[in-house]
Amino acid sequence: MSVRLQIWLIFLVPVAIVGALVGLGWTIPIPHLGRDYVLKVMLPDAGSPVDLPEVLGPPDRSRPLVVIDPGHGGKDPGASGGGYREKDVVLGLAKALRDELLAEGGIRVALTRDDDTFLVLEERPEIARRLDADLFISIHADSAGEKGEIGGASIYTLSSKASSEAAARFAERENSADAQLNGVRLNGQSEEVSNILVELSQRRVQETSDEFAGLITREGGGSLRFHPQARRSATLAVLRAPDVPAVLYESGFITNREDAERLVSQEGREEFAETMGRAIRIFFARQSNQ
Ligand code: ZN
């Protein structure tokens, strides 16, 4: 074998091996010779969540179903203050309510998340719709920045017009959860759904939601601490399902020490769960009589 051929082989053999590997589709971590790495991220289609949560409680589809939605989660912590994060506080409350409802029996329950998972805002009411839920309760906790004295729970229902400036600001903040994270506003789609049937359904659902909100303040009068303006309405994406009665329960202010300590305590959670559970049972009893 000539020297020239040997030199050529020294060059050509590695090139041939690399070429064969690339040709076979194998990846080789050699700069410039390897393939380009492509990260594929699966995004859920708008309005069609990948997984529906498990429905707990009696395996009887005629039983009413409440979907409990702990706000925020994962990369979206929600409000924070005093060492508390909204996403943790509201998950604790949601689980307490789930346990209470299951212990009392007769009602089916599903949670939009039961761990620290991120959910796109619009997925949440969509989960309730796809499960054919009878009631949707989104649980949040508020923050008042430096104003630590502001406290108390409030209940939001959907309105076509934000009822006050505060409600509008709140709507902006809660609705911006997706926009900030994905750079795209995902919550405008339901606005396109504007035919008269949807409007009629929405109006009826709004009345039913208001009735449920009234039950929460009535039943919680002796046990829960409400904000002086406890009943509010706002344009909130999470309440926009046109066929499932829905409320957003702001459980209190985590910037208020008294509120925060109560919301994360065993007694505070049980008090919330008992009160909300009672309101839910009365609500379903009334619905079944109509
Ligand atoms: Zn929130």
* DSSP conformational letter for 76: B
Ligand 1 centre and the CA of 110: distance in Å? Answer: 19
**What's the pLDDT score for residue 24?**
61
54: in domain: no
Ligand 1 centre and the CA of 274: distance in Å? Answer: 22
**What's the pLDDT score for residue 81?**
85
Task: Note whether 117 and 163 are same-domain residues.
Answer: yes
Task: Note whether 115 and 259 are same-domain residues.
Answer: yes
Task: Note whether 80 and 20 are same-domain residues.
Answer: no
49: in domain: no
- CB-CB neighbours of 235 under 10 Å: 22
Give the span between the Cα atoms of 268 and 96, in whole angstroms.
10
Supply the pTM of this predicted model. 0.73
Show the beta-strand stretches assigned E in the chain.
Answer: 65-70, 80-81, 84-85, 108-111, 135-142, 153-158, 226-234, 246-253
The listed range with the strongest mean pLDDT (107-111, 143-147, 204-208) is: 107-111
The answer to whether 250 and 263 are in contact (CB under 8 A) is no
154: in domain: yes
Over the chain, what is the mean pLDDT?
80
Rg over alpha carbons for the chain, rounded to the nearest Å, is 26
Task: Note whether 27 and 112 are same-domain residues.
Answer: no
103 vs 39, higher pLDDT: 103
Ligand 1 centre and the CA of 285: distance in Å? Answer: 29
230: in domain: yes
The answer to whether 178 and 185 are in contact (CB under 8 A) is yes
Domain that holds residue 142: 65-289
Ligand 1 centre and the CA of 224: distance in Å? Answer: 19
Burial of 8 (0-12, 13-18, 19+ CB in 10 A): exposed
Task: Note whether 18 and 129 are same-domain residues.
Answer: no
The answer to whether 72 and 78 are in contact (CB under 8 A) is yes
Ligand 1 centre and the CA of 14: distance in Å? Answer: 58
Task: Note whether 20 and 99 are same-domain residues.
Answer: no
Mean pLDDT on 153-165: 69
145: in domain: yes
pLDDT in tens, 35-50: 455 555 555 555 454 5
Mean pLDDT on 78-105: 96
* 3-state secondary structure (DSSP) of residue 187: coil
Task: Note whether 149 and 220 are same-domain residues.
Answer: yes
Give the span between the Cα atoms of 169 and 235, in whole angstroms.
10
Ligand 1 centre and the CA of 197: distance in Å? Answer: 30
Mean pLDDT on 188-198: 50
Task: Note whether 141 and 26 are same-domain residues.
Answer: no
Mean pLDDT on 186-207: 60
Task: Note whether 86 and 23 are same-domain residues.
Answer: no
How many domains does the chain fold into? Answer: 2
Q: Is the dihedral of CA 49, 51, 56, 62 positive or negative?
A: positive
Task: Note whether 33 and 69 are same-domain residues.
Answer: no
Ligand 1 centre and the CA of 170: distance in Å? Answer: 9
**What's the pLDDT score for residue 192?**
45
Position 282, amino acid: I
Position 10, amino acid: I
155: in domain: yes
48: in domain: no
Domain of residue 262, CATH code: 3.40.630.40
pLDDT in tens, 142-153: 988 777 789 999
Ligand 1 centre and the CA of 103: distance in Å? Answer: 27
Task: Note whether 175 and 247 are same-domain residues.
Answer: yes
161: in domain: yes
Task: Note whether 22 and 112 are same-domain residues.
Answer: no
Write the DSSP string, 106-125. S-EEEES-SSS----TTHHH
**What's the pLDDT score for residue 12?**
75
